[in-house]
Amino acid sequence: MTDTRLYIEGGRKISGSLSVHGAKNSVLPVLAATLLSPSVSRIKNCPALSDVYSSTRILGSLGCKCRSDKSAIEVDATALSDCEISESLMREMRSSIVFLGAILGRLRRCRLSFPGGCELGPRPIDIHISGLRSLGAKIIEDHGVLDCTLPGTVTGAVINLPLPSVGATENIMLAATIGSGVTLIHNAAREPEIKDLAGFINAMGGKISGAGSSTVTVEGVEKLHGAEFSVMPDRIVAATYMGAAAITGGELMLTGVRPSDMISTISQFEQMGCGVYPYSDRIFISAKKPLNPIKTVRTAPYPGFPTDCQPILMAVLTRARGTSVIVENIFENRFRAAPELRRLGADIKAEGRVAVVEGVPRLSGSPVVATDLRAGAALVLAGLAAEGTTTVSNINYIDRGYEQLEAALKSVGARIKRV
């Protein structure tokens, strides 16, 4: 961990306008999908994130050529030569597991080390593995390495996911695209990022329908061609910016967003008493009144309230007038922002999957440590509202999912700098 930190002088209202960059959780599977065709694809609206650079390094290690210009990345996957992802690259970014389906789809063979757990708890891949086995994959796990082969062509399958796993849905879509027959994925994840991935694969000549619903249908095709695609806006970054306005009692115009992806998130901000005005590709939020608590908020698979927004909402609720209860139903260890928020004066009791947040009249600045991507963002939001100076360290976590967060917040009135 580098010792670069964010220094924040709290107590200033956020106000102004911010554009929202492309979605991390869409660009990662889309970059993996470029492997499916021995050609050149151009991915636009790519965010400048460390997870994106990790993905281009993985593509490079497999024999692809990546070229980025401004916010587009061009991937030439013609010379895909290797089917193995090194342990160090897998450890750098656990969501590299989504390359498994893409490499199998193209080379019918893949070796990668088991993705480690992460800050949110063990990140099992049993649903990925059983889904790929339903497509005919032979997957051997030994000494922490997954050795996978996909003999012959995929001739279709009916797969019922035990829970709507985003990554597993994506991996099955990627592995089933090239082949014959039809694959049905029941209880598929419905996140907008799944629709984005289907949109890109279809632009390459794939035949995926039902993405965004609970049943995704993948009709096997013989081959794909390169395509140009623009990644959807990041709905979690948009929610984070809304949190900055809410926690400081300010107002923000967000541009380049898709409000229809954010209905459950917008409703939480409205319950806190914020004025939220969604238009076609923008959202205006104003938090002129003191914030109300939220009696109970539960995270759920899309279209429920996103687990990635839970730490963000927790930070904002530390300033609400009263008691809020948060139930985290997706990950088993996702209240890691709580102890650090308490160091800023928040009153939070987290027990298992339930956290009780008692609003406090003020927060006070303190050195705090980011423990994961969204917890780090939550600490930055709390620092914006805390009196005095807050320093946030381990901001490498934040750089995985936010493009220059400090520059964005500074442009709308925050006193924040990276040192």
Contact pattern from residue 171 through residue 190 relative to ligand EPZ, giving x for each residue in contact according to CB under 6 A and a dash for the rest: ------------------x-
Which pair of tokens denotes residue 418? 């990276």
Which pair of tokens denotes residue 11? 């107590």
Active-site choice (83, 118, 148, 309): 118
Total residues contacting ligand EPZ by CB under 6 A comes to: 23
- Cβ distance to ligand EPZ smaller for residue 24 or 195: 24
240 interacts with ligand EPZ by CB under 6 A: no
Dihedral angle of Cα 356, 361, 365, 368, to the nearest 10 degrees = 0
Minimum CB distance to ligand EPZ, residue 329 (Å): 9
Indicate the residue type of 273.
Answer: G
**Among the listed residues 163, 263, 356, 407, the single contact to ligand EPZ using CB under 6 A:** 163
Helix (H, G, I), strand (E, B) or coil at 246: helix
C-alpha 274/C-alpha 290 separation (Å) is 9
CB 103 within 8 A of CB 110: yes
216 interacts with ligand EPZ by CB under 6 A: no
DSSP per-residue letters across 123-136: ---HHHHHHHHHTT
**Among the listed residues 45, 165, 240, 324, the single contact to ligand EPZ using CB under 6 A:** 165
Count of alpha carbons within 13 Å of 245, Cβ hemisphere only? 30
Subset of 370-389 contacting ligand EPZ (CB under 6 A): 373-374
**Among the listed residues 28, 173, 204, 294, the single contact to ligand EPZ using CB under 6 A:** 28
To the query of whether residue 118 is one of the catalytic residues in this protein, the response is: yes
Minimum CB distance to ligand EPZ, residue 350 (Å): 17
Subset of 81-140 contacting ligand EPZ (CB under 6 A): 95, 123-128
Minimum CB distance to ligand EPZ, residue 99 (Å): 12
Query: By C-alpha distance, which of 180, 223, 202, 233 is closest to 23?
Result: 233
Minimum CB distance to ligand EPZ, residue 50 (Å): 12
- Cβ distance to ligand EPZ smaller for residue 307 or 371: 307
Centre a 10 Å sphere on the Cβ of residue 28 and count the other Cβ atoms it contains.
26
- Cβ distance to ligand EPZ smaller for residue 161 or 408: 161
Indicate the residue type of 347.
Answer: D
Contact pattern from residue 293 through residue 322 relative to ligand EPZ, giving x for each residue in contact according to CB under 6 A and a dash for the rest: --------------xx--------------
- Cβ distance to ligand EPZ smaller for residue 26 or 366: 26
Which pair of tokens denotes residue 122? 């063990």
User: With b meaning 16 or more CB within 10 Å and e meaning fewer, what string describes 182-212?
Assistant: ebbbebbbbbbbbbbbbbbbbbbbbebebbb
DSSP per-residue letters across 166-181: HHHHHHHHHHHSBBSS
Helix (H, G, I), strand (E, B) or coil at 301: coil
Catalytic residues: 118
Residues within the interface to ligand EPZ (CB under 6 A): 24-25, 28, 95, 123-128, 163, 165-168, 189, 307-308, 330-331, 373-374, 401
